[in-house]
Structure 1
């Protein structure tokens, strides 16, 4: 390129009376012009490149951005059945990820967006829910309502024996009875206290339980033992037993007899006192409930044949308490065993079983009188039924 061309490009000064090219002022102006010219060319070049890009790769960039902003989601209510468990403390994002992994929603984002739109991002409750494959995010949010949790609510009565407890649980959950029987043998896994001596009888606390489909037999029994441990702590079982001069296991054994023998809660403290009074003077307990437990039967009064049993649970033939609880007592019976009513009673008879009337006496003569009353009532009842 010659000097004339260069002068034209950079805007050289002319020779008609203006500063010569070599002058200081001219050089200053040329530097200024070069800076101004470069500042204009840079954005112009960027615009040219951008326009050119839009004609090719820019289109693909736009397509990518558009797709990135579009949330993948199924439509409709879905098909089939999927059990989904929401765990304690899970965020909506974590729940969405679980749903995506199980094929319920197309993307976790579809679920979280639907949850946010419904104002339910922070309202999901732990539990097991039945959903479907390939649901829309909005449909999944609707089925995760707390009222739609899958639970079996099972109520286990106070005083129910362990064998009957396991049967009740098997029927309520549809799980094999053998699973419950096997799980009941693993004291360590269930979290039984050491004083239970490895036996679940007496420590499967009676209450109402919500059981989800994903809970195993061991999980259910563990929940019952946990509930017992909470009750034991609340009632100060260990400390209270020490104050009574008994072990916690003995207190639970007494509580189970009280539960089995009592016609109502008001009588529990008195029955507990009868037991303590007999133990104090080395009198046999002679409790029908312990014999029935040994014979695996139920009844109101043991027969002479029943009393001949050589079981260690036969308190007609053996002194002291039986080896362990004969049922699962509730909190009222435990409280009665720890705090028996004051009195000198040593006998009691439920003279009217139908109305739950039990009488307590301190002498053997009085005992024979209330026993005769019971027999008369029983005879009248049999005649009425006949």
Structure 2
């Protein structure tokens, strides 16, 4: 009696099962290798520049990284970010990333915002510089042109400025509306900054410096001046006081002359009206028709005649009280002044000054 070939059929089923299992293992192994390989660093090379605009999502960042040859597979990188719970802290900016970096190194770099440092420019505006001098200095350094910089002075409303409250940068009599509002300081700015951006930075510096003065608003109110008048008076102090210790005293003399309804008769205002610096002013210079000529008009000029530094601003805020109404520069090289209460005493000081020049 014949028997059924059950063992042979069973072996065939086993072989099919083993073959299927092997196929699945190979498939799984291939998948694992694909994933493993896709998460490996790319071939090492020179750093490449990567730009990540503000608001860019992780999917787009992964695409950019793949396009730059910094990762092998954008889909696997995105999945890796989800697995690691990363990607939400990536920062926009310009990066230099070297191929061959691990995924964790790339993630850390984007998280820290380790961007390429922008190339900077650096310039110093001395205390007492006028708008024209500032324009010339910036133009000399190649950061702008005098024409462009000065043109914006005539249209301060056309640019965004960070002016302090109470600024008065309009008026037909103003030679340059922003005169006195461009704080003298050493600045660092991104290379390629426009004239408008430079103006915004300099006016913001003034605003910040005034805000840092203790009880500035109270002191300004006590002075009886507007902010514009204060900066104007401070600019006179800046141009007149060559010796720092004399600033508060010279400020006090200016206040005294204003209260006495006397013309200020400050040479620096005539120089400003002339548009040039002269070693010596002649009588014809003192007769120039200009609202800035304090030999002919009473009160403060219509606006600042230069950029006052912080020390001159503080002197204008807190002048030294005295009965002095006059001062004259010593001609002995010290650049100090002789102060007088009366005109007769002032004339004597003038003679003393001349004698000092002959010694």
* Structures share fold, TM-score greater than 0.5: yes
| Mapped contact 1:192–1:200 kept (Cα < 8 A) | no
List per-residue Cα deviations over 1:29-80 (Å, max 9, x = no partner): xxxxxxxxxxxx9xx96x764421355x5565245213321233551366xx
Counterpart of 2:222 (choices 239, 243, 246) is: 243
Unmatched tracts of structure 2, length 5 or more = 8-12, 73-90, 170-176
Counterpart of 2:69 (choices 99, 106, 112) is: 106
Per the TM alignment, residue 189 of structure 1 is displaced from its structure 2 partner at its CA by 1.0
Q: Which residue of 1 aligns with 2:37?
A: 67
Aligned residues: 308
Per the TM alignment, residue 320 of structure 1 is displaced from its structure 2 partner at its CA by 0.5
| Mapped contact 1:352–1:358 kept (Cα < 8 A) | no
Per the TM alignment, residue 298 of structure 1 is displaced from its structure 2 partner at its CA by 1.4
1:230 pairs with 2:208: yes
| Mapped contact 2:41–2:99 kept (Cα < 8 A) | no
RMSD across aligned positions (CA): 4.0
Separation of aligned partners in 2, 1:319 and 1:225 = 29
Q: Which residue of 1 aligns with 2:173?
A: none
Q: Which residue of 2 aligns with 1:218?
A: 196
Alignment of 1:82-97 (within 5 A): none
Unmatched tracts of structure 1, length 5 or more = 10-40, 110-125, 381-386
Provide the TM-score with structure 2 as the length reference: 0.72
1:171 pairs with 2:140: yes
Separation of aligned partners in 1, 2:195 and 2:71 = 33
Which structure has the greater CA radius of gyration?
1
Separation of aligned partners in 1, 2:156 and 2:138 = 17
Task: Give the match's secondary structure for 2:200.
Answer: helix
Q: Which residue of 2 aligns with 1:267?
A: 246
Q: Which residue of 2 aligns with 1:370?
A: 349
Separation of aligned partners in 2, 1:373 and 1:84 = 69
Q: Which residue of 2 aligns with 1:153?
A: 122
List per-residue Cα deviations over 1:311-367 (Å, max 9, x = no partner): 000000001010010001011001100100011111111113732221211111221
Q: Which residue of 2 aligns with 1:200?
A: 178
| Mapped contact 1:241–1:247 kept (Cα < 8 A) | yes
Provide the TM-score with structure 1 as the length reference: 0.68
